[in-house]
Structure 1
Amino acid sequence: MKKIAMISTGGTIAMQADASGLADSALGARKLLELANIERTDITFVEMEYINIPSPHIQIQDLVTLKELIEKAVHEEKVDGVVVTHGTDTLQETAYFLDLTVDVNVPVVVTGAQRNSSLPMSDAALNIVDSVLVASDDRAANIGVLVVFGSEIIPARDVIKEHKTAITTFRAIDFGHIGHVNNGRCIWARKPLIHDHYKIGENIASLKVPIIPSYIGQDSAAIRYAIQDNVDGLIIEGFGAGHVPQNMIPGLQEAIEKDIPIILTSRSRKGSMLTDTYGFIGSETYLRKMGVIFGEDLTPDKLRLKLLLLLSNNFTLEQIKHAFEHNFYN
């Protein structure tokens, strides 16, 4: 007999249309399980209704509390797996934060829905059923937090919301899903090799790490404003394989001189960064020589969460650089 914790946090999966025809938060863990209509005599559930809000409203402190709730379910309720239901707008961030911080030896699955249960062909019930199946599979333990969506199993580190409304929105763009659910079974293809883990510092919710994009004509104004606002770190979303406009360089230099860690990623989602190919001002070679740290394949939102954790643990610049680059560069 497997015992699975069902933790609800709101989002589209928990929404139903009211008299106005607009969807809003309505369902908690118990109602979601009733919606899924899981008829299994070998699985029991611990229902935990944490919050019921749209996922754009979630704050860092909410993620800290969710992490603690998952660990409480495992250590005190003795569950064999955990399913977290969540809104899709920020699902990839919550899943990755949990992947970096949760310390349990049972499967942890995050899922949601693109269509609320008032709509025809809602994906809510199927995603819950699939997620429960994965969370009750021993092979899903100790490989990090997983996202189960559209019957695919995706590592939290890799998952990206790719489409605004499609029910197959979540993808691991570079490396693909690691398994899928079919005919009531989990079919596994591989295990992820990269899995980082960090403690959460007490000041994490007060740290400031903005994300600054690159575009034609971008300059140093946003960076200088961030410096004046006493930010603790910066995430820069550059071009291509690691480039930024030359007019951003003065601002980046000012941040580096103030020992503000700068993590670079690219708005191009597939592929790896270059390191020693181009030499122009703002190129990847130029930025690395300046002291910019490369975030490699992670999206800006995930880089921000990881940097917040590192800063909350008082990592030095050298330790931060190692944490982001050691899997990719010598």
Structure 2
Amino acid sequence: MKLLITSLAYAMLLMFGATAAAAPAQAENAKPNIAILATGGTIASRGADSMALTDYGSNAGMKHLGIQTMIDAVPEVKKFANITGEQVFNVGSSKLAIENWLILAKRTNELLASKDIDGVVITHGTDTIEETAYFLNLVVKSDKPVVLVGAMRPATGLSADGPLNLANAVALAASSEAKNKGVMVCMNDQISSAFGVMKMNTTNAATFQSPNTGYLGYMQNFKPFFVSAPLKKHTYQTEFDVSDLTTLPRVEVNFTTLGSDGVLIDAAVAAGAKGIVNAGVGHANVPAATLKSLQEAQKKGVLIVVGSRVDSGIVTPTTMHSKSGFVSAMMHNAQKARVLLMLALTKTNNVMEIQRIFDEY
């Protein structure tokens, strides 16, 4: 009964925009300064009623909450840090574009460059949070904590997971242990690296896992307990700079199934793709017709990265692929390989150099 009352009270607070008073546990100037950048998504959504847990999208009249309403609804975040909030945009993550990424990255770098900001939390929809996290992991130029957080249930839903996720994310970003860990995703009491995290279930609250790398750590009583650290290059260690970019090279993903031909690959080339990530079967294997189209695309100057549709494992270079001049995706899934290839193509078109990038990142 108490849990139900708490969930309903939280939903009412968000619906009516009430402001709860925060009770800081310590002096304001003794706490770190954390900026929360809001982008929309389920964590900021409200459905028709508390039973609308998955059917709350645009067809159900979804409304997104503003950042200040979210902060006011979870006053506990102010126990861990001095909080500022900013609404960068307010859309579901399935609707985001490359231009949104660039706006978010530039604003994040501006904030982190300030001596008055100790870390950044970004609220984000879960559909593409792993892609945004990995993009930021490659272009943020600071060792200060950057934590992405979302929710699998809307703010007004019964047993909404957003409040605890947000409080954990702020506590993580405010902790000294989170420094120099790269961009992280904090959901369901787990801390994931941007490189390793994947959404593995369509609707379950425990959807985010790291099958290849394991979690970086766990949140317990609003304190991070790290068990590993990222070894791949990230943030200030990278060679990528988006400060002067307004777009990124077009890269498409081709998903391979039994009997696939090269029609979609040919269409991607015709549409002006500068790169193609092929999600093959098994260890990046493809039907003969698919291989032929990939080889033809490569001859036309399109950079080809071969990966797998399988959720875990590593795609190392094979003789067939290397002879064709293809780049192996290594441990990147198709969507993250696309992110890395877009950025790699801003630096070079050389196949060997791009293979080096996929090896190091």
Shared fold (TM-score, shorter chain, > 0.5): yes
CA distance in 2, matches of 1:23, 1:162: 27
CA distance in 1, matches of 2:246, 2:266: 23
1:168 aligned residue (202, 206, 219): 206
For 1:3, the equivalent position in structure 2 comes to 33
CA distance in 2, matches of 1:221, 1:40: 54
Secondary structure in 1 matching 2:306: strand
For 2:103, the equivalent position in structure 1 comes to 65
CA distance in 2, matches of 1:103, 1:274: 29
CA distance in 1, matches of 2:272, 2:222: 52
TM-score scaled by structure 2? 0.83
1:227 is the counterpart of 2:261: no
Equivalent residues in 2 for 1:1-330, closer than 5 Å: 1-18=31-48, 22=60, 24-38=62-76, 40-41=78-79, 43-76=81-114, 78-196=116-234, 197=238, 198-200=240-242, 202=244, 205=247, 207-275=249-317, 284-326=318-360
CA contact (8 A) 1:83 1:109 kept: yes
CA contact (8 A) 1:204 1:309 kept: no
CA distance in 1, matches of 2:87, 2:320: 50
Q: How far does residue 207 in structure 1 lie from its aligned partner after superposition?
A: 2.3
Moved more, 308-317 or 88-97: 308-317
In structure 1, the gaps of 5 or more residues are 276-283
CA distance in 2, matches of 1:77, 1:57: 33
Secondary structure in 2 matching 1:256: helix
CA contact (8 A) 2:316 2:329 kept: no
CA distance in 1, matches of 2:174, 2:47: 31
Secondary structure in 2 matching 1:296: coil
CA contact (8 A) 1:203 1:312 kept: no
CA distance in 2, matches of 1:317, 1:273: 16
Secondary structure in 1 matching 2:267: helix
Identical-residue share of aligned pairs (%): 28
CA distance in 2, matches of 1:42, 1:17: 29
CA distance in 1, matches of 2:77, 2:118: 18
2:211 alignment partner AA: I
Moved more, 13-22 or 54-63: 13-22
Moved more, 108-117 or 287-296: 287-296
Q: How far does residue 200 in structure 1 lie from its aligned partner after superposition?
A: 2.2
Q: How far does residue 15 in structure 1 lie from its aligned partner after superposition?
A: 0.4
Q: How far does residue 241 in structure 1 lie from its aligned partner after superposition?
A: 1.5
CA distance in 1, matches of 2:64, 2:158: 17
Closer/same/farther in 2, CA of residues 153 and 326 from structure 1, 3 Å limit: closer
Moved more, 67-76 or 127-136: 67-76
Q: How far does residue 285 in structure 1 lie from its aligned partner after superposition?
A: 2.8
CA distance in 1, matches of 2:276, 2:77: 48
Secondary structure in 2 matching 1:312: coil
TM-score scaled by structure 1? 0.91
Question: What RMSD, in angstroms, separates the aligned Cα atoms of the two structures?
Answer: 2.0
Q: How far does residue 37 in structure 1 lie from its aligned partner after superposition?
A: 2.5
Secondary structure in 1 matching 2:68: helix
